[in-house]
Amino acid sequence: MHDGSEIVRKGNLVSFENDSCFVCGGNNPIGLHLHFYYDRDTRSASSSVTFKPEHVGWDDVVHGGILASVLDDVMAHSLFTLDFLGITTRINVTYREAVRVGELVYLEGTVGRIGSRTGDVSGSIYAVGETGEKIIKCEAEGTYFLDRQNKNQ
């Protein structure tokens, strides 16, 4: 796994050079400030997070929109392993179990099919049980427009 130091940060349409993303940007004062790790061999990105009380929807339960945001981000970050920035065109989230405030959860995004203009990606948020098993909290699949810095790549 690699940290994000070598990933592309600018495409033809979008960039994140200002580092202000709500989920991963270090320059966003109200952001989550997540750090992602990349595995080019498995075409995946990963991170972890413990949500705070300001992230709730229902009492002590993390808001579903926040969970969708981190899923969207980890899936988009997985595209960095192939040197793409991805613009979300569709995301479908399935919520399986509540994520609680103060609970450590892990994020994974993995690239599936890559086409000429779009890529399909999957993602999950999970906790680790007492015996080491993954407890899936929510999962998603999405399609991303592939934004390259150089159109000829």
For 103-152, what is each residue's pLDDT tens digit?
999 999 999 999 999 999 999 999 999 999 999 999 999 999 998 765 44
Q: Say how many C-beta atoms besides its own lie within 10 A of residue 9's C-beta.
A: 14
32: domain CATH number?
A: 3.10.129.10
* Distance from C-alpha of 58 to C-alpha of 11, rounded to nearest angstrom: 38
34 domain-assigned: yes
Q: Per residue, what are the HEC states of 56-77? A: ECCCCEECHHHHHHHHHHHHHH
* Whether the predicted pLDDT of 3 surpasses 90: no
7 domain-assigned: no
Range of the domain at 77: 20-147
* Distance from C-alpha of 65 to C-alpha of 3, rounded to nearest angstrom: 26
> According to the model, what pLDDT value does residue 153 have?
45
153 domain-assigned: no
Count of domains for the chain: 1
* Distance from C-alpha of 85 to C-alpha of 60, rounded to nearest angstrom: 34
Helix (H) or strand (E) holding 87: strand 85-95
> According to the model, what pLDDT value does residue 9 have?
67
4 domain-assigned: no
Single pTM value for the model: 0.89
Q: Say how many C-beta atoms besides its own lie within 10 A of residue 4's C-beta.
A: 14
3-state secondary structure of 119: strand
91 domain-assigned: yes
67 domain-assigned: yes
56 domain-assigned: yes
142 domain-assigned: yes
Q: Say how many C-beta atoms besides its own lie within 10 A of residue 91's C-beta.
A: 18
Among 91, 23, 12, which Cα is nearest to 55's? 23
pLDDT confidence bin for 31, thresholds 50/70/90: confident
